[in-house]
Structure 1
Amino acid sequence: MCRHLAYLGPPVPFGEVLDAPPHSLFRQSWAPRRQRHGTVNADGFGVGWYADGDPVPARYRRAVPVWGDEAYADLARVVRSGALLAAVRDATLAGADGQAAAAPFAAGRWLFSHNGAVPGWPGSLAPLVRTLPAEALLSLEARCDSAFLWALVLHGLRTGEDAAHAVAETVRAAADASPGARLNFLLTDGRTITATAWGDTLWYLADPAARRTVVASEPYDDDPRWTEVPDRTLLTADRDAVRLTPLAPGRTDPPPADERTGTTLTGGRAAALTSPPPPLKEPTT
């Protein structure tokens, strides 16, 4: 398992978000309060952030515990950003991927993290391989379940799905292929956050007056405004609002529109198992 966090708000040194709170993501690398699986997140870490005027994020990732990296401490003190995604990793299985397996994963303007595990990996998700073009498979950064799930989400984005649809359909397809999978996702483009609660904890802290939103595996302090996201839920957010939509597993017909958002999430990955995928397209920026 892992712990992760996404932030949108006024530009601050990212250590103010990741290190300074009493139960920060930094502290969650060795003392998480609400983690249901695993106890120490010391198999790597990463942070991705956006600079003003540049839609493509920077990343810093390592295969060591975050508390032992002196360069990270300097970066956290001086680098300012109004949008970031960070994670500390507890590897589900041993592997040689190292830094490449540490979130956030990235492509173009997107950053992605997966908190969870896929039982039976890799065989359990083998049926989903044929939904991806060869280029996507050959471009995998790592051979872990998180990297493959990111490839599925990214393929959805590149073939025209919006972020909410790409994330929701990947979760449904993976849950159908591997019942019992834990699939908490975080995806951001620096302007919005898309996340899922599926098998582990997810919380958000919204401050519309300050135009500030944090979505995290668990609260980093005891602010009473932290709100837990129900399991099997899709979260979409920006700096001004948070929206929650129930996720039904294994859906291949359109669910009812969510009353709060007016959006409808339709199923489509199941059809892709029996038909060739559409051509690969890069998302526009």
Structure 2
Amino acid sequence: MCRHIAFLGPQTALGELLVQPPHALLRQSWAPRRQRYGTVNADGFGVGWYADGDPVPGRYRRQGPVWGDRSFADLCRVVRSGALLGAVRDATEAGADGEAAAAPFAAGPWLFSHNGAVKGWPGSVAPLAATLPAAELLSLEARSDSALVWALVLHRLREGDALGDALAATVLEVAEAAPGSRLNLLLTDGATIAATAWGDTLWYLAEPGHASAPEVNRAQEPRAVVASEPYDDDRRWCEVPDRTLIVATRTDVLPTPLKEPPA
């Protein structure tokens, strides 16, 4: 369920990543090629991006299908950024949260998305929710499993954890509390991307370059894309093995295996 993508690289129009590729996030909303659970991602969408000189990202989120929002297409045509996170949400049972349940979730410099589902929600993870301060629980944007997973990640980030450490620790504690959960998480602060493959597909595309070299054109500039599935048929896309954490910058991608929690 759901599809998401994060990008780091040169200033690029949002549409070059989210709309124009033959299998971009827009098309994945109705015709994903590698989605294992669910078929239509029409219950909300969003994109967050960073502007030069401002560490706090802007966001555009809406309830409903992305293909019906003409303002989104116009925004993607003119807004440029060197870092973004976009997501489309799988069609689910009706709820009252609407736009608030659409990723990316945000706080401070961070953008977050969850592709998956917490098994046995909400009872299975009630003990984890109880470990959070009351103020953080009351600040949840939505009453969904993704919002709670984000609260658990955010608590670790505020305690000083690095992006990858915050994701890995959260995945392991949720997987232990709710075995069988699908926990593909995606997180960025505009300089680094962290993501987990845990129950669904995850791919990355790295295009390392050297910005100091003479006559470097934009295609040679360092960039990294991490996504639920490739947006085109470039052979450089690499699939991330299940139970893996990856941490990516513009010039490097580091995978780390994740161990199953004890039974």
Contact 2:40-2:91 at 8 Å conserved across structures: no
Q: What whole-Å deviation, never above 9, does each CA across 1:174-230 have from its counterpart, x for those lacking one?
A: 000111000000000000000000000000000002211000000000000000000
Match of 2:253 among 221, 226, 242: 242
State the shift of 1:92 in Å: 4.2
What's the counterpart of residue 243 of structure 2? 232
Q: How does 1:74-153 map to 2 (within 5 A)?
A: 74-153=74-153
Question: What residue in structure 2 maps to residue 259 of structure 1?
Answer: none
Query: Would the aligned equivalents of 1:50 and 1:81 in 2 still touch at CA under 8 Å?
Result: yes
Q: TM-score, normalised by structure 1?
A: 0.87
SS at match of 1:26: helix
Residue 172 in structure 1 maps to residue 183 in structure 2: no
Q: How big is the alpha-carbon RMSD for the aligned residues of Structure 1 and Structure 2?
A: 0.8
User: Bigger CA drift: 98-107 or 126-135?
Assistant: 126-135
Say if 1:13 and 1:78, in contact at 8 Å, map to a contact too.
yes
- How many Å separate the matches in 2 of 1:9 and 1:79? 15
Shift in alpha-carbon separation, 1:91–1:149, aligned structure 2, 3 A: farther
Sequence identity, in percent?
73
Deviation at 1:95, TM superposition (A): 1.3
The one-letter code of the counterpart of 2:255 is L
Q: Which letter does structure 2 place at the counterpart of 1:50?
A: Y
Code of the residue aligned with 1:2 in structure 2: it is: C
Query: How many angstroms does 1:94 deviate by?
Result: 2.9
- The count of residues paired between Structure 1 and Structure 2 equals 251
Q: Does 1:54 align with 2:34?
A: no
Q: 2:25 touches 2:88 (CA, 8 Å); kept in 1?
A: yes
| SS of residue in 2 equivalent to 1:56 | strand
Aligned to 2:216: none
User: 1:39-69: CA deviations, max 9, x gaps?
Assistant: 0000010000000000000000000100000
Query: Does the 8 Å CA contact 2:197/2:241 hold for their aligned counterparts?
Result: yes
Q: State the one-letter code of the partner of 2:131.
A: T
| Aligned pairs for 1:158-237 within 5 A | 158-209=158-209, 210-237=221-248
Runs of 4+ that moved beyond 2 A: 91-94
TM-score, scaled relative to structure 2: 0.94
Give 1:68's aligned residue: 68
Deviation at 1:82, TM superposition (A): 0.5
SS at match of 2:37: coil
Helix, strand or coil for the counterpart of 1:225?
coil
Q: Which amino acid aligns with 1:239?
A: R
How far residue 159 of structure 1 moved from its aligned partner, in angstroms, is 1.1
Secondary structure of the structure 1 residue equivalent to 2:226: strand
1:249 offset after TM fit, Å? 2.0
Q: Where do 5+ consecutive residues of structure 1 fail to align?
A: 252-285
In the alignment, residue 233 of structure 1 is paired with which amino acid?
Answer: T
CA distance in 2, matches of 1:93, 1:127: 24
2:89 partner amino acid: R
Deviation at 1:130, TM superposition (A): 2.0
What is the rounded CA distance, in whole Å, between the counterparts of 2:95 and 2:144 in structure 1?
8
Instruction: Output one character per residue of 1:215-249: Cα deviation in whole Å (capped at 9) or x when no partner.
Output: 00000000000000000000000000000000012
Residue in 2 aligned with 1:268?
A: none
Q: Which runs of 5+ in 2 are unaligned?
A: 210-220
- CA–CA separation in structure 2 for the residues paired with 1:146 and 1:91: 14
Contact 2:5 2:226 in 1 (8 A): yes
- Look up the equivalent residue of 2:120 and give its one-letter code: G
Aligned mates of 2:175, 2:224 — CA distance in 1: 28
> Structure 1 pair 170/130, CA: closer, same or farther in 2 (3 Å)?
same
